[in-house]
Amino acid sequence: MSASGDRELLTLEPLMDAVREGVESGGWTLSGMQKTTSHEFEGRWEGESTRSAYLFFHPGDGREDVSIDVYLDETSRGLTGNLALVVDLVPLAELESPPEAMRALGSVAAAALPEGYRSPLTLRLRLERADDDPAGADTEVRFKLRIPRRSIEAGHGEIRRLAATTVASFERILASSELRRYESRG
């Protein structure tokens, strides 16, 4: 137990449980989960293994163009992870200016996500086939919050709280007019 009497998170499964409780408390439903174990036999991590979990959540309203993707990792160096709000955007040709979109979406993220946490922003472009017209490339944005070591060390309750707070922040992002300007209409 930690100093506050909270349950310590020493392995992947208790971390998964805490994150899941926090995300589900915001009305999101677990729609998929994958756990993997990787072993490095050559190279600088020879003989080490990593256990990872991916959790996928969708909102209760049935939207398929929005998800919360969670990545958690257990290595010999400890537990890490992040939560990401993933939103499909208009095709690249309709995005007009990717730098301007990144500025606008970055501003939304900075205003909505909790302060004091690393919160990367990713804009992804994807073609179904390499010879497709790039103007029709699918785009998505990922608003991430990295789970800091201090939160993991604080235990189950802190991770549950952080996940719930992050989901509330994601809801503010989804409600923003700036995001709606770029969201997929299909």
Which of the two residues, 3 and 58, has the higher pLDDT score? 58
Closest CA to 79 of 169, 29, 19: 19
The predicted structure's pLDDT at residue 4? 44
The CA–CA distances, whole Å, from 63 to 80, 136, 184 equal 28, 22, 12
The CA–CA distances, whole Å, from 46 to 41, 49, 51, 73, 169 equal 5, 9, 15, 18, 40
- Summarised one tens digit per residue, pLDDT across range 106-146 is 999 999 999 999 999 999 999 999 999 999 999 999 999 99
- Summarised one tens digit per residue, pLDDT across range 24-52 is 999 999 999 999 888 765 655 555 678 89
- Summarised one tens digit per residue, pLDDT across range 58-70 is 998 888 999 999 9
pTM of the model: 0.89
Measured CA to CA, the distance from residue 122 to residue 118 in angstroms comes to 13
Instruction: Please tell me the chain's helix, strand, coil percentages from 3-state DSSP, rounded to the nearest 5.
Output: 35, 35, 30
